[in-house]
Structure 1
Amino acid sequence: GVRYRSQEAVAHVEAYKAIGASPVTIDVANTMTSLQTGVVDGFDNTPLFAMATTWYQGLDDDERNLILSKHSYQPGIVVYSKKWFDTLPKDIQEILLTVPYDLTTWGRDQVRKMEPVLIKNLVRYGYEIHDPSSAELQKFKDKEKGVPENVAKQVGPAGQKLLKAVRTALAN
């Protein structure tokens, strides 16, 4: 199958395998070189990330295809140590505990507003854009049906518990 740069996460690797691709786990820092040297044939990420990392430049002109697959959503998180957090004044702690939630919707909206502009830029750089139909997207979904269970099984009891919690939350 097509060799895709995969994040070093079992969920990504298993999803690629399910659709018949050959995942190659590569960290962010080595992705551009891997694209340029042919170690991988492509990558998945948002137009924003492709532009910000300049990965879009890593493929030859005749290989520039973008599929708007909508196959995953990856939220960003802010991580800090409890030791550091506990040194902050209470008002700053409160801001850190509440503002990120408030900014989530705003940030997601801003990224979505940027996407059409970014896609136009990718077209300018020679990318052919494919926006799959619902039927085409369903084929991917069908192939990936067992991936969550497979990943949860590999992760162990904690993974199975998390999958159950996610499915319960989505059902409500």
Structure 2
Amino acid sequence: MNKKSFMISVMVMAIWITGCSSSASSFDEEKEDTTTLRLGHITSEDDAWHLASIRFADLVEEKTNGSVEVELYPNSTLGGDRDLIEGMQIGSIDFALVAGVMSNFHESFAILELPYLFQDEEHLEQFLYGESGEKLQEEMLGETGVRGLEFWMRAPRQLTTNTLVEKPEDLHGEQIRVPNIEASVQGWEAMGANPISMDFGEVYSSLQTGVLDGQENPTAFATSSQIQEVQDYLVMTDHVFGYVQLTMSDQTYQKLNEDEQNAVEEAAYEAREYQNEIVFEEEEQGMQEMLDAGVEIVEIDQEPFREAVQPVHEEIADKYDRELYEEIIGLRD
């Protein structure tokens, strides 16, 4: 090989090596540019929360062209409700689905957990998706560092027990699991029960062993955790028309660029629409699963239960946010 040919070969080899290095470098940079975020919640993979979380994760990846990915952690894998909120406050958890336990971090949410506050789903939607709901989320962000992306609707909470309950007196001495929320605890005490707060992940075994006599949740939420296997009655109390919030650590939010922030917000809205469609369909399925498991459906006169909790309404409203309480009452038909 002459000198000229040798030099050409060296140049070609150098270009090839440089090109390979550039390709590898670009690939590494592309991998480094993908932000992976974690979303935790307490329900099973069969629940509407999780199905809508899958939709949210897919939408975020699609709308950010893959620059943001969301990993899902159901079944309290990242902890209970309080753990999830505290994790978002310090930035160790990026997203979470949380409900009334937020009242332990922003007190005004305690009002929303009062039994027999909302008349029906329409009353709740009118509040959540209006200016009042937006204001509540803004106040929550300022106080907690947790950003409310969207409110998702839930089916009404019902009581399941191993004792026939038709009136408040039937609840006397019954150990009923409730979330760790002051309005829930006081409300069930006023209705005659002995409320016990514990993580939902412990409820099935506690019902199975007799530590608990009952629990209260939307029916589909309960059946997704097989509660129908360890309960005899589903009592149609309709005591709380509730919600769950898709929330986000503001520390995480501020790390995203503006396009990514917009994409997350759009994905949250679209996932809300999807979840709100399927949640009530799942509730019907949950009712059928209860019946198939031999659980007896008990229709009751709700008025005595409603009357029993009115003193709790007054106490919680005076303690936390009388103005918000009156605003919600004013939206009733």
| TM-score, scaled relative to structure 2 | 0.44
Structure having the higher strand fraction is 2
Pairs within 5 Å for 1:61-72: 64-72=232-240
Is it true that 1:119 corresponds to 2:287 in the alignment?
yes
* 1:26 Cα deviation from its structure 2 partner: 1.6
Contact 1:14 1:151 in 2 (8 A): no
* 1:108 Cα deviation from its structure 2 partner: 2.6
Q: CA RMSD in A?
A: 2.0
- Pick one of 131, 142, 158 that aligns with 2:307: 142
Alpha-carbon distance in structure 2 between the residues aligned to 1:91 and 1:44: 41
Which residue is equivalent to 2:324? 165
| 1:109-156 CA distance string (max 9 Å, x none) | 321122222211111101001233xxx112211111122222345xx4
Is it true that 1:151 corresponds to 2:316 in the alignment?
yes
Alpha-carbon distance in structure 2 between the residues aligned to 1:50 and 1:95: 33
Alpha-carbon distance in structure 2 between the residues aligned to 1:105 and 1:70: 23
Which residue is equivalent to 1:34? 206
Structure having the higher helix fraction is 1
Cα–Cα, structure 1 residues 44 and 150, in superposed 2: closer, same or farther, change >3 Å? same
Alpha-carbon distance in structure 2 between the residues aligned to 1:164 and 1:41: 36
Cα–Cα, structure 1 residues 89 and 169, in superposed 2: closer, same or farther, change >3 Å? same
**Which secondary structure state, in structure 1, belongs to the residue aligned with residue 302 of structure 2?**
helix
Is it true that 1:100 corresponds to 2:268 in the alignment?
yes
Cα–Cα, structure 1 residues 98 and 165, in superposed 2: closer, same or farther, change >3 Å? farther
Moved more, 98-107 or 2-11: 98-107
Larger radius of gyration: 2
Is it true that 1:10 corresponds to 2:175 in the alignment?
no
Cα–Cα, structure 1 residues 67 and 112, in superposed 2: closer, same or farther, change >3 Å? same
- Pick one of 285, 289, 297 that aligns with 1:129: 297
* 1:106 Cα deviation from its structure 2 partner: 4.3
* 1:13 Cα deviation from its structure 2 partner: 0.5
Give the AA of the match of 2:276.
Answer: R
- Percent identity of paired positions between Structure 1 and Structure 2: 22
Is it true that 1:20 corresponds to 2:188 in the alignment?
no
Gaps of 5+ in 2: 1-171
| 1:13-32 CA distance string (max 9 Å, x none) | 11101111111112112111
Cα–Cα, structure 1 residues 52 and 91, in superposed 2: closer, same or farther, change >3 Å? same
Contact 1:19 1:140 in 2 (8 A): yes
* 1:169 Cα deviation from its structure 2 partner: 4.4
Alpha-carbon distance in structure 2 between the residues aligned to 1:171 and 1:101: 27
Cα–Cα, structure 1 residues 48 and 97, in superposed 2: closer, same or farther, change >3 Å? same
Which residue is equivalent to 1:84? 252
Alpha-carbon distance in structure 2 between the residues aligned to 1:169 and 1:104: 22
**Which secondary structure state, in structure 1, belongs to the residue aligned with residue 246 of structure 2?**
coil
Paired positions, count: 159
| TM-score, scaled relative to structure 1 | 0.81
Cα–Cα, structure 1 residues 169 and 12, in superposed 2: closer, same or farther, change >3 Å? closer
Alpha-carbon distance in structure 1 between the residues aligned to 2:217 and 2:189: 17
- Pick one of 225, 233, 240 that aligns with 1:53: 225
Give the AA of the match of 2:214.
Answer: G
Contact 2:177 2:216 in 1 (8 A): yes
Contact 2:317 2:325 in 1 (8 A): no
